[in-house]
Structure 1
Amino acid sequence: MRYPTDAATRSLSVLVLFTVFAGDVWRNLLGWWGYAALVAAITVVVAVMMTRRRLWGAVAFWRLPRTLVLFGVLAVVSLAWSFYPGATVLGILAQAATTLGALFLCAALSWPRLLSALGTALNGILGLSLLFEFVVGAFVRSPVFPFFTDYGDRKVPNAFYWSQADLFHGGPIQGIVGNRNLLAFVAVLALIVLAVQLAQKLRRRGPALAWIVVALGTLALTRSATAVGALVITAAAFGVLVLARRARSGRRARVFAAAAAVAVLAVVAVGVLWQQVLSLFGKSEDLTGRLDIWNSVAGLAAERPAFGWGWVSYWVPWVEPFDDLAVRKGVTYLQAHNAWLDVWLQLGVVGLVLFVAFVLGAWHRSWWFAVEEPLDGKGRALPQVAVTLAPALLLTALVAQSFVESRILVEGGWVLLIVIGVKTKLDLQKVDQDLGAHPEPRPAGLSPARR
């Protein structure tokens, strides 16, 4: 497939990715109305760009995964039984805007260019975050609130601060996204992208290593256990993919079976040593209040188990039942901190089945993409390249995070999920893809282990 990529397309792609992964910086700078205006403007530009570049045909709904289409239809139709119809309308609009951005990235960029845009956006977030925390810590020397807020003289929970000025105290830092777990997960994604680019020489060695140091430093300063856990799981998945690549086609099933067995043993070990694991990461027994939130969400979801309470994306704290569903230390939470519980709550068992099916399909295609050999224009096998590992590794990180955060359903998490789920399907039957390398072809079926 030929991708009509020019400077405008690349710049817009970086802006889309920066905005979905660092939406809080715009909200903190411009306020919610300013943020809404910015998102609306970007959405219009994306739609115009797709029209001018004739990209709509590449992502027509009949080309998309059926489970994704059905999930989207269910979210829209849930307006008919939603307990909070106004909030559902806002949630549908937000989901449509982020989905449009994801489809634009699928149609406009090849995998190497997509990784380049993603890496630029993530590195920008990390670099600006460290600069922001340095300025706050060195010159302001006191916590900073988001702009356009006025809390008066009342005591404000720490979660409301944009930065707590803790850089020179060893952290945890929150960066421009205003949340240490979000910033840490950006660092995890950046590490994946940088490692893939470095392995395939898609980025110069010196700058790539420098940004890896920045990402590792940011991860250390955030002290986020959820992000570290996602990174460990992703590293394990990388090991499995490397073994599967080196194995002959007939033995890959054994590799995956052995990996599944090890994963089960690891889960059992974590269960047995649960207290020690919590102590290692400095977590309380209730996982920083998550157990209470999960119990509340599960109890509410059980009241409408089949089709849920209606789609809402982010929880809206001004409507029932979200106004008091999850409140801890004066903070009203805007998510269930578990994407699967969140989907069950909003769209019931039907929505959860569709969502699980879509994620499993995307995971299957991304892992197939990672281990199978690419083909040239004549259908001959080419040597494997690092860039094909990226979708599987990124999706693994997203899924690992989804059990303690609901970010896979909104903004950057949703965009990345859609990009991986849709693009792997669109490219499933294609040959001679732009993978950032054009080596000499070799006979099909000859794996690296037998060369």
Structure 2
Amino acid sequence: MKIPKALLVDPDRNFWYGSAAVALSIFVFAYSTRFGQVSILAYYACWLPLVLVDHRRVLDRYWRFLWVIAFAVFACLSVFWSAAPSITLRAAIQLLSHVICALIAARTVGIRTMSVGAMAGILVVLLYSLMVGQYDFDPLDGTYSFVGAFSSKNQVGLFSSLGIFFGFAALFALRERGLVRILAAVCATLSAVTLVKAQSATSVLALVATLAVLFCLKFAMWFSPSTRKGALIAGFMVTLVLVFAAANMGAFDLVLGAFGKDSTLTGRTYLWSQGLAASADAPVFGVGYQAYWVQGFSEAERLWDEFYIGSRAGFHFHNTYIEVLVELGVVGVLLIALLMIRIPFGLLRRFAGARKDPASLIAFGIATMFLVRSFVEVDVITPYVVGSFLFYYVAGLLAVPQRDRQPAEPYLARWRRVAQNGAGGMEGSAFYRP
């Protein structure tokens, strides 16, 4: 039996395959360290074969993505000056192939399919963690936190915050109905429970900031595109003033205190100072991608010991820009900053000019969440993690030209129409390009 290509690569017709591929990818990102190389191969099997299925759709006008992959390419080039060339080569190839998979997803999976697949995957991830039910003691703040099947409460917090975000997106932005609405409610509720159990201040603050921005943008959609631009600029300026005033009035320390944190962010400020000091050894190009946290290197061993990292792996400077500065120098920081700034502002510009575009709203929310988290976490520069996959997926959506279309109809209604008429359009996908 021959399977039509559209069921695999057409964003309007590959709901089942696309959502299953996204859900499996989310599970792999969560537990690849537990299930090993087989899970990584399953992830690659979801996306790379789509090039062979329809190379024209996947590879057409590939030059539009050169700015997206620039950071990953530079990471590959760093093998020539890396302090640990073999480690850099392997990690850089993994990163580049991971980015390519995310861009393939951007070409073949619509934002609705991505949201449904992400909710299904996150639901399975959190249920598995609840079954494991592990709690860990944090010697830095003296508390026990829920880590489930993860090695860190911050990872539980990340997946939980994403579950709430996608649940919110499905209910209020996409306005899904039926089974998808039930899935969204269950995913958001379970995510809220695990987020409370994890006590991850980083995830809570990033989620609150993201949802607040989305509520403002949702309100801005009531205005005409011309009026909306002025409202967005005014809202941005007011937000900056409020944040500055709150910071000077001690609101930041008050929020941290509610989570049992202090102004050092439980040792993060010291870690940042160590990273800045380490970057002085190779300020322009860095020591090489992932060539700092290497077993046997004295500085890495010292910091692992100071922060009670017995595994001597999976640690970083808890700041994307400092991490990149150490590994890839000022050049790397400029490249990652290009992504971190261009993506949300590009999506905001697209949103400001559209009449009703929930896809841009959701994509902007994803970019905003990881932009906020980039100052205290390292989510988007590592292969096989959910942060980099979603971030580069959104970058791929931005790189694809927008077409003026009406909002997409709900999936169940679309399936009924296709069953009756035998054909379907691509109504409303702001990121679809035939």
Q: Shorter chain as normaliser: what TM range?
A: 0.7 to 0.9
Whether the 8 Å contact between 2:122 and 2:187 is mirrored in structure 1 is no
* TM-aligned CA distance change 1:396 to 1:271, over 3 Å: same
| Separation in structure 2 between the aligned mates of residue 45 and residue 253 of structure 1, nearest angstrom | 39
The answer as to whether partners of 1:369 and 1:389 remain within 8 angstroms in 2 is no
Indicate conservation of the 8 Å contact 2:47/2:105, yes or no: no
Instruction: State the AA in 2 paired with 1:27.
Output: T
RMSD, aligned α-carbons: 2.9
Q: In structure 1, the residue corresponding to 2:287 is in which secondary structure?
A: coil
Structure 2 vs 1, CA of residues 335 and 14 (structure 1 numbering), >3 Å: closer, same or farther? Answer: same
- Secondary structure at the aligned position of 1:172 is classed as strand
Provide the C-alpha distance between the structure 1 equivalents of 2:403 and 2:82, rounded to a whole number of angstroms.
41
Instruction: Report runs of 4+ in structure 1 exceeding 6 Å deviation.
Output: none
1:291 matched to which residue of 2?
269
Of all paired residues, the percent bearing the same amino acid is 21
Indicate the SS of the match to 1:275. helix
2:168 is matched with: 195
Structure 2 distance, partners of 1:314, 1:299, is 13
The match for 1:302 among 251, 260, 280 is 280
CA shift in 2, pair 1:176/1:350, >3 Å: same
Distance 1:418 1:40, change over 3 A: same
Q: Which runs of 5+ in 1 are unaligned?
A: 137-142, 144-156, 161-169, 374-382, 440-451
Instruction: Assess, with a 3 A threshold, how the Cα gap between structure 1 residues 41 and 128 changes in structure 2: closer, same or farther.
Output: closer
Could you say which residue in structure 1 is the equivalent of 2:351? 370
Query: In structure 2, how many angstroms separate the alpha carbons of the residues matched to 1:313 and 1:431?
Result: 45
- Give the match for residue 402 of structure 1: 374
Task: Tell me the residue number matched to 2:186.
Answer: 210
Offset at residue 37 of structure 1 (A) = 4.0
| Structure-to-structure mapping, 1:327-406, within 5 angstroms | 327-331=305-309, 332=312, 334-373=315-354, 384-406=356-378
Gaps of 5+ in 2: 1-8, 415-434
Q: How do 1:254-265 and structure 2 match up within 5 A?
A: 254-265=230-241
Aligned length: 390
- Deviation sequence 1:108-162 (CA, Å, 0-9, x none): 21111111111111122122222332xx6xxxxxx6xxxxxxxxxxxxx8469xx
TM-score by length of 1: 0.78
Quick one: distance in 1 between partners of 2:184 and 2:163? 10
Q: Give yes or no for contact 1:175–1:183 (8 Å, CA) kept in 2.
A: yes
Indicate which of 254, 268, 276 corresponds to 2:254: 276
Whether the 8 Å CA contact 2:256–2:262 is kept in 1: the answer is yes
d(CA) in 2 for partners of 1:277, 1:286: 13
The question of whether the paired residues in 2 share the 8 Å contact of 1:316 and 1:334 is answered with no
Matched, 1:246 2:217: no
Contact 2:161 2:203 in 1 (8 A): yes
Counterpart position of 1:130: 130
- Secondary structure of 1:336's match? coil
Given candidates 25, 28, 33, the residue that maps to 1:27 is 33
- On the 8 A contact 2:201/2:256 being kept in 1, the answer is no
Deviates more, 1:352-361 or 1:250-259: 250-259
TM-score (norm 2): 0.81
Partner of 2:420: none
